[in-house]
Amino acid sequence: MKRAIKTEEAAEMIPDGAVLLIGGFMGVGSPHRMIDAIVARGTKELTIVANDTALPGHGIGKLISCGAVSRVIASHIGLNPETQDKMMSAEIEVELVPQGTLVERIRAGGMGLGGVLTATGLGTPVEEGKQIVETGGKRYLLETPIRGDFALVAAQRADYVGNLEYSLTAHNFNPIMALAADTVIAEPQSVVPIGVIAPDAVKTPGVLVDHLLERAA
């Protein structure tokens, strides 16, 4: 059984320079309370692995705006001109990864696989510097696994085991990121007693979750 902790308590666990996997797609399904707490604390030199950096002043965009981030691995930054500006001025190093490759690289990191063999990116700038593997008469890029020091995942509902449920398009990267970090911090909208979430409704088993935030205010 887990104690639900305060957001500030969780944010204090994250040191400067940490690699964070952060769920969400343009802010939908992002752990907004954790992001606010990291901004408030002033953590620096973070590496953010996420689908995107949302918009300026929204979701992950807040971490970009406040200068907490030195490196981004994402599939899309086009809707956040601040990320693009900081990339151009070399304040933030950006690695752009095709979205499907990004999620599989994180899954590989979480599931103990050596990498991902995909045709996505062949013949494009994504191919540069990467190992090519031939199998079954076809060529594939070998994309390497990604893991985080922390995964910050947003969930609709949790129980005190840490079992998580997600809602609609707020699933996105969260269930996969919960597999792939040394420490997984879950930010649920609500927390219910053990037994309330039926086994078949669980999308992330509680054994993957290290820390559970209190329910949303």
Q: Which of 24, 31, 59, 115 binds its own copies (CB under 8 A)?
A: 115
Please name the residue that has the structure tokens 């940490």: 18
116 in contact with its own copies (CB under 8 A): yes
DSSP secondary structure, 152-170, as one string: EEEEEEEETT--EE--GGG
Stretch in the footprint of its own copies (CB under 8 A) among 1-9, 35-43, 50-58, 129-137: 129-137
- 140 makes contact, choosing from its own copies, other proteins, none, with CB < 5 to 8 Å by partner type, with its own copies
Which lies closer to other proteins via its Cβ, residue 43 or residue 76? 76
Binding site for other proteins (CB under 8 A): 1, 25-29, 51-52, 74-79, 84, 87, 96, 98-101, 103-104, 107, 110-113, 118-126, 156, 159-161, 163, 166-176, 179-180, 194-195, 199-200, 202-203, 205-208
150 in contact with its own copies (CB under 8 A): no
CB of 112 to its own copies, least distance (A): 7
CB neighbour list of residue 119: distance below 8 Å, 6 or more residues apart: 138, 139, 140, 141
Query: What would the two tokens of residue 82 be?
Result: 């601040």
DSSP 53: -
Query: What would the two tokens of residue 127 be?
Result: 């191919």
Which lies closer to other proteins via its Cβ, residue 40 or residue 113? 113
Q: Do residues 54 and 27 make contact, with C-beta atoms less than 8 angstroms apart?
A: yes
CB of 42 to other proteins, least distance (A): 27
CB neighbour list of residue 126: distance below 8 Å, 6 or more residues apart: 96, 97, 98, 101, 120, 141
Burial class (CB in 10 A: 0-12, 13-18, 19+), 201: exposed
- 207 makes contact, choosing from other proteins, its own copies, none, with CB < 5 to 8 Å by partner type, with other proteins
Q: Which amino acid is at 182?
A: D
> Shortest CA distance to 65 belongs to which of 74, 73, 56?
56
Stretch in the footprint of its own copies (CB under 8 A) among 45-53, 80-88, 130-138, 184-192: 130-138
- List 61's β-bridge partners, or say none: none
Please give the residue ranges that form the binding site for its own copies (CB under 8 A).
104, 108, 112-119, 131, 133, 135-136, 138, 140, 142, 144-145, 165-168, 199-201
